[in-house]
Each structure stands twice: as C-alpha cells, then as structure tokens.
Structure 1
Amino acid sequence: MRTEPSGGTGPDLRHHGDAEVRDDGAGLVDLAVNVRADTPPLWLREEIAGSLSSLAAYPDGRAARAAVAERHGLPVERVLLTAGAAEAFVLLARALKVRRPVVVHPQFTEPEAALRDAGHSVDRVLLRAEDGFRLDPAAVPEGADLVVIGNPTNPTSVLHPAEAIVRLARPGRTLVVDEAFMDAVPGERETLAGRTDVPGLVVLRSLTKTWGLAGLRIGYVLAPAETVAELERAQPLWPVSTPALAAARACVAPRALAEAGHAAHRIAADRAHLVAGLRSLASRGVRVAEPAEGPFVLVRMPGAAGVRRRLRDLGYAVRRGDTFPGLGEEWVRVAVRDRATANGFLEALSAALADAPGAGREAAPHPG
C-alpha cells in the first residue's frame, strides 16, 4: 500500500464500462457494465410511467426525500437527492473547501476526476493485490481533510469492514464512502448508511445499479445537515426529474427493499458459480481477486488486452482494468450474470485463452 500524487499523465479516469459496448458493441453480451440484468422490473417501469402525466409541473422532491430519510432512519435534513451518485462527486468537489483530498484506489475513478476538474491536487492511496486490496487505515495520510473510498469497492469487489472505514474519520475531515453497490450485498452488512455517530461521514447511494436506472440518473447523499446544505447550494434548480423522483420513492419502499434483498442473495450465488469457473482456469494463469462481495469480480490473466479483443470476437464485452489507478493491463472486471450467461462466458474465455500467445503458460501465483 502506498501513497502517490495523481498529477501528470496516467490512467484515463473518464473511461467507464459503457464504453466497451458503445458504437461497435451491438450484439455483445454485456459483462462490462455493473447494472443488474433484467431491470428495471415491470412494476418500477409502471411507477415511472405513471409520473409522466405530471411533467408540466416543476419537480417537487419533498416526498422522495422524506421516503429516503425514512428508509435510513434519518431526518430529511441529512438527505440530498442527486442525479445519480456521479453528480454527488461533482458537488463534493465544487462545494467543499478542502486542501488535501485523498482517494483510495483502485476504485471508481469519477471522484478523482471530479476533484481534479474542480482544481484540486489529489493524492492516491493505492491498495495492493498482494494484500487482497484490503484497507489499512494507517496508510491514509493524517493531514488528509477529504478521504474517498468505495464499499464494496468497484472494481476490486472488496467489502471493507465498517469499523475499518470508521477509523478513517477525524474531526475536520470529510469521509466519503461510496456505497453504490451496497444493496447488492446480502443484509447490507458493513454499511454506514444511517450512522450519525461518525464525524464528517458522507455516504453516497445509487439506485441505478440494482434497479437498472442508469439512463434515469437517481441517487442520494446521506450526510450531516450542514454538509447537505453546502451541497444543495451548489446544485442547479430542480436537479432531479419528476420520473427520477418517482423511481426514488418506489425503490426505497418496503416491497422494493425486499426484492433487492432477494436479488442480493441471488447475485451472491451467481457470483460463487462464476468464481468457481474462473478458478478452474488457474492453470491457464487466471486469478480472481478474492473474496469478492460485489456484483462483479476482478480477474487477472496473462495477455488480458488480447484476451479482451478475442472475447469481443466471441460475443462478450468485459471491462478493461488498466484505467483504474493501481491496476495494469493484465486486469479485467467481469459483471456477475445468471449461470447460463456465466457458462457461455467461461467457455468463450477458455477459447480466448487458448488462442493467446504463450497459451498454457501459468502466470505467477496471485494471493488476491
């Protein structure tokens, strides 16, 4: 684990999984984007469609904000609705007066990109594969006044213990925890959403992953009331559309929470099946970062760039890993899908590996 500045040339922080299936990606099985398959469900589409008759009026977010607050047992003053979690990163970068922001990598790159676009110099704490990409709170510089970490982390799929993250909190420090994928974890264990005893804690949630709403843009911030007020002042008027507000209310209702809970258990079972299949390719140099706890897995393999291209020829898109700080071109991220899809992918991966230069040569052991 090491700390480094983020200036100069480096990974393309604005490359995201959707780039793998845009333009020439028609017909590919999408394992590059971490949005749950077969979503949004019919009942949610009907809720959203029902809001369309109100489009002539300006959006009123009060009911949705209250519903999110009730879901987490918080007062409404501690909730801010946003156009996806990505908007929240921009608001944090622009509204908060920070001197030394630190981003814990590998993780979703948008927080650092937003900070840099706002004129900040950003330090990186790089977690290592040799340590299983696990957090050592002592590695974060004491002088950091803004720390950003994902949990479970994209792309490593590591679920950090909540109390390890709490150890990062300090008076005068804003601690941002991106929980965009926490509702894909059975029981949402290790969540910090709803905690009010951690100084400077800001939790970000997304409703786009589990519910397939990436095109609608809806998420929210849970934070101290004064932080919410600062972020809200940086937002434009009516930042969340009426259909997105309807989706927010629906997705935090008891019916939706129960469905998300069932989906989390199904994802865990499907992930275990995928990981077992990947382990069976260990003699071909394939290594999985484990234990994986998110709806995706991080995989290391020799010649990964060429393997990705061959997988596309075979009909499968996976997410390249070299645009994440701390990873190299030997890494790819694979979304968890149903077992039939996983089986097809594993068969294609086996074929792609067989065609790789030096096929059959085992990579160095990887403890992650």
Structure 2
Amino acid sequence: MRDHGGDLDRAKAAFGGTDWIDLSTGINRMPYPVPPLPPDAWRTLPTASDVTALEVAAARAYGTQADVVALAGAQAAIQLVPRLRATGRAAVLSPSYNEHAAALTAQGWQVTQADGLDAMTGADLAVVVNPNNPDGRVWGADTLGELSSRVGLLVVDESFADPTPALSLAPRLHGLGERVVVLRSFGKFYGLAGVRLGFALGGPRTVAQVRALAGPWAVGGPAIAIGTAALADNDWQTAMAAQLAKDSARLQGLLQAAGWGIVGATALFVTVDTGDALAAQARLARAAIWTRVFPYSSGWLRLGLPGTPAEWDRLERALARQPE
C-alpha cells in the first residue's frame, strides 16, 4: 500500500480550516535560507561542470570517497533501484517507508517484509532505512557492512541521517565495492522538499547505471545552485543538527506528558503509541495540525518537529486540551 504524509488536501477536506501546520512528513520546518540564484540557473540547461560541483559538495558533506550522482530527490533513486539488478528476491526491513517495497514490486521483484537483519540473508537485493522511518531504529556502519556480504545488493536509505552523521555508511562505501548503494535526501534536513534533490552513492559501475537510468538533466539549475551552497555550509549544518536534537527531546517530553508512549524518534520526527491513532490525529487536526498515521498500526502516530515559537505554542495547547 502506498500512503504518505503531506496530504494536506485530505486534511482540509476532512476538517476544514486554514493555516495548517504540517507535521506529517518529518521535513525540517526551519529551512535553509535560500541564497540569491543566478539568472542562468533559470534560463539555461545545467552544465556538466555545474552538476559536478554539486556532486563534489555532496561527497564532502557526506564524508565519502564513493561516486555520487544527483537526482530529483531520494524518491527518484527509489524508483530506479529495482532496475539496477535482474529481478529476484528482495527483502525490505519492515515496517518502513512503503515506497521501497512498492517500487520493487512494480518492477517484478518478489518482495518479503523482513523483521530483522538475519532474515535478509540470501536476498538478491535488501533495503534498510537508517534511521528507520517511522520507528527510529538505527544500525551501526559495521553491522550494515557485514550485512552487505550476505546479500546481492544492499540499499541503505539514509534520508533522515543528516543530523546524525556518525550513523552514515557513506564514509565506508569506498571499501564495499559495488555491494552497497546509499540514498540521501536533501529536502528533509535542509527543509526544502520543493527543491526535489537527492543523491545515490556507491561504486562507480552502480552509480554509472543510476546516472544512465536517470537521463540527462536529472536535476534543475535552481536545485543545483541551492544544493551546492547548502551542502558546503558547515556552520549551518552543525547549528541545525544541535537545534533539532534539542527540539526532538522537547517534543518527546510534550508527547509523553500527553500520555502517549514513545515508539521511537530521530532528530526530525517522533513516533508515539496513542492507543487510537485516528482519534489522536483528529484531536490535533481540530487545531489545524496534521500528523501521520499508518495502515499497519491502529496506535502509532508520527509527528515532525514544529519550527516557530507560534507552532510550538499551538501544539502545546492542542496536546493540553482534553480529548473529546
């Protein structure tokens, strides 16, 4: 089943209202300040040197010596991954982001939902989201490196890893050959999902495959200019990671005070067990705050982090209000 956060049209249709706070996606609500863009970013096709500069900035930001290809979001990479190998048996560590299984199934893979890393052994292709969405589970680089020796191709989706770079497998990719592909999202940490930018990292042959499948001009000029600047801004990255860690702890405290148990958390979202997720979602929706429920759990509710003081105040008031 393909279902996602960010569906504010559905929220508005069901609850009405305006000025919604969308906490359903885990996208940073304190975005990177977009710099002035050169006119050529809009009026000309991206040059090879522009793309190379962006990919070099990404490699430096992710601390990797692996090859890097820029794409129109991590979602674009997810759509291409099933075409990197001949179809066979794929294992997706679950529960997790449902687009991985959906994209593999659509391309003819036999997909199994694995409940642990050991259950993935022998798969022709294995997918691990790290940190995991939505329960926040994490696995160390050594563990994932060892797993790569037991599967045909290991895909590690690090869309939520920017605030916790020590978790990333990217710095070790050069020693893993063609056995691993790492996916990175730009829009989540930098709060600029509309830019539609992401990356695939891996061995030269695999990354060349991805580049060929993506075709020419996979990323537009404005995304290249914004991404190149943001990925090189180490001061902003460090300060934002510290702020998000603080805010995630604050959100966990608010949700626990509301009587909900923490299922898991990252620096960009917190998932709680509310007992009745639809009722909890509706309770917050009446304050024009949209959250994420999941088809496989009647209790889990995921919230991204508010951005401004006004957003925090509104969430605190909604959580303090007694459920109807």
TM-score relative to the length of structure 1: 0.79
Q: Is the 8 A contact 1:137 1:164 kept in 2?
A: no
Among 261, 271, 275, the alignment partner of 1:287 is: 261
Distance 2:42 2:23 in 1: 34
- Give the Å deviation of 1:79: 0.9
Among 137, 146, 157, the alignment partner of 1:167 is: 146
Q: Is the 8 A contact 2:141 2:169 kept in 1?
A: yes
Give the 3 Å change call, closer, same or farther, for CA 273–70 of structure 1 in structure 2.
closer
Aligned to 1:359: none
Q: Which amino acid aligns with 2:303?
A: V
Distance 2:86 2:201 in 1: 19
Distance 1:336 1:172 in 2: 35
Distance 2:258 2:308 in 1: 17
- Give the Å deviation of 1:80: 0.9
Aligned to 2:52: 62
Matched, 1:197 2:175: yes
- Give the Å deviation of 1:86: 0.4
Aligned to 2:323: 354
Q: Which amino acid aligns with 1:272?
A: A
Among 288, 293, 304, the alignment partner of 1:315 is: 288
Matched, 1:276 2:253: yes
Q: Is the 8 A contact 1:299 1:333 kept in 2?
A: yes
Count of residues paired in the alignment: 314
Matched, 1:18 2:6: yes
Distance 2:283 2:150 in 1: 51
- Give the Å deviation of 1:101: 1.0
Distance 1:339 1:217 in 2: 23
Distance 1:167 1:300 in 2: 32
Distance 2:255 2:124 in 1: 40
Q: Is the 8 A contact 2:292 2:301 kept in 1?
A: yes
Among 274, 277, 286, the alignment partner of 1:304 is: 277
- Give the Å deviation of 1:250: 1.1
Distance 2:244 2:185 in 1: 17
- Give the Å deviation of 1:23: 6.8
Distance 2:186 2:6 in 1: 17
Give the 3 Å change call, closer, same or farther, for CA 224–124 of structure 1 in structure 2.
same
- Give the Å deviation of 1:147: 0.8
Q: Is the 8 A contact 2:11 2:290 kept in 1?
A: no
Distance 1:216 1:21 in 2: 20
Instruction: Give CA deviations for 1:36-64 in whole Å, capped at 9, x if unaligned.
Output: 113231xx242xx22x3343432121222
Matched, 1:252 2:231: yes
What is the Cα-based RMSD across aligned positions, in Å?
A: 2.2
Give the 3 Å change call, closer, same or farther, for CA 80–339 of structure 1 in structure 2.
closer
Distance 1:159 1:241 in 2: 33
Alignment of 1:1-368 (within 5 A): 12-13=1-2, 15-20=3-8, 24=12, 26-41=18-33, 44-46=34-36, 49-50=37-38, 52-60=39-47, 61-72=51-62, 74=64, 78-126=67-115, 136-140=116-120, 142-170=121-149, 173-185=152-164, 188-195=165-172, 196-199=174-177, 200-253=179-232, 256-282=233-259, 286-290=260-264, 292-322=265-295, 327-338=296-307, 340=309, 341-351=311-321, 354-355=323-324
Distance 1:210 1:245 in 2: 16
Distance 1:171 1:106 in 2: 21
Q: Which amino acid aligns with 2:114?
A: V
- Give the Å deviation of 1:32: 1.0
SS state at 2:118 partner: helix
Instruction: Give CA deviations for 1:59-95 in whole Å, capped at 9, x if unaligned.
Output: 12122223323444555x7111110000001111123
SS state at 2:170 partner: coil
Give the 3 Å change call, closer, same or farther, for CA 343–287 of structure 1 in structure 2.
farther
- Give the Å deviation of 1:149: 1.0
Distance 2:11 2:64 in 1: 43
Q: Is the 8 A contact 2:18 2:288 kept in 1?
A: no
Distance 2:84 2:146 in 1: 25
Distance 1:71 1:312 in 2: 37
User: Structure 2: which 5+ runs fail to align?
Assistant: none
Distance 1:320 1:267 in 2: 22
User: Structure 1: which 5+ runs fail to align?
Assistant: 1-11, 127-135, 356-368
- Give the Å deviation of 1:238: 1.2
- Give the Å deviation of 1:219: 0.8
Q: Is the 8 A contact 2:128 2:155 kept in 1?
A: yes
TM-score relative to the length of structure 2: 0.89
